[in-house]
Structure 1
């Protein structure tokens, strides 16, 4: 078995306009001071990490790697959550998601999609130059407006949506394969890949592509009332990245899993800092250790109540406390006897 690596921290929610949160080196020093060992780095802030330069310059990647090493840090994964979202956007979300793209392609869905696909391919090249094995992203969504269908379920519509989604992603998956990097889709409501069934549907459409994998975030499964431990049992071979994010669900007579258009703090289901929700992280870390997950445990802070810096500080210790240093031998090895075939047959009286 393998010991999970950690703690890591996803930087997206902590990037700001003031030091130390306005440069990668400042963020690195801050994260290291809290005890983190890795950063998950978003690709949509060129002043933090220049994706275009990283895709073409080994020297730039070496500079980043060396700077982080000076703080005792590495990169766990690059993230293109926003860019991945733009690979597939239903027209209902065109205006809402346009701000994720550069000004030059806003208002032009075709140009925006092409830009997003190119950004993912740049991320594949950059990941290889940085020596990374996994990449975090979103699938985007064409069918999401119909997730709870009315008028009733339209099988043809859903087939068309997933076929189109697969057609857009296959060249990207092939590009990542050429660079030796796994694409890890965060299973997330709002994306067409939001549970096991939709992941399986997409996986079949991309011909079970070896680079089509999962970023496991139990909070999104908890708020859908899914068995997130059974999810690990079922999909562990495809889980290549892991967000440590807590959530809780308090049954209500007023609203449910859809949230009632309320603010996060008022919903029945809410994101919380690790340890403040009701997710069984001991079970999760045990399952991942059992199945030889050898990637990073990365904090994603999205608590509706707790201050971010407090959540980050507590999160490092929470992850460290839950990582299981796996045994290199069985506890009952001391009592083991001979294990050759002849001895076994004698023990059986054969």
Structure 2
């Protein structure tokens, strides 16, 4: 249901008071940062670009749901259920990279020199300005794609584990990280020492890359739809519980044998989306009811409500590169675009 905050007896948060609210007639399926703008994707195939000191503008990109998106800072890459893999510039110019016809584009990833997508059991990797992709076969449907920070490794998750492709002098070489179950979203730690995936079985699994030691992070009551790296430790912050679950990845063993820090309590609501506050030891957690909380990663500190409940789960949170603005979106198409700090325009 749509809840109009103007007509309900709700005290707006300071973030809501400063910002603008938009009601789009399509679910928000994701958001990414592009320069100092934030780009949101929607279930009707459209993108909306939210920039500083300007009204958001719309680009009709796909003829169906935008299933996945990524940004390398210069372009947005999108995949949809119309089978198209697209590259879109900051002014909304669209370039079709590949058309898979009736097959969905399930995952995309990008870095400065490479971009990739998946459709079915195959992952496709393009070198910048090269029209022909490297095709990577998998035994089952690809669940997630992610480059490391250097852009020299590509993780491809599927049933039974994750395959990491590493760029060599003459070709890309693969290494398999095995763990039984269905693997989805995947990420490298900021220092490149660990590999982590979210599983269909309501758990997170990781590996220390140098020796492939297993790191099982289980006990979640719900599926982990979102994770992010936060703080200097760093922490892997995950959704899937009534709090943001923060696993420490410092030291020689990372989270092995250690308990997570749990912050941003949502009561009876499970977190559906988490996003770090850049350069801070803090995280935003969005919940099933549409509310969003900001918390330091410290169980002794108080959390702050930054967005009231809308009646629909949070599906996107992004912070502009200069940390001046935040975008929050949910599954009913409600968008909050707001200055993050008092005094910013």
Tell me the TM-score normalised to structure 2 length: 0.32
Q: Which of the pair has more CA radius of gyration?
A: 1
Higher RCO (Cα < 8 Å, 6 or more apart):
1
Structure richer in helix, relative to its length: 1
Tell me the TM-score normalised to structure 1 length: 0.32
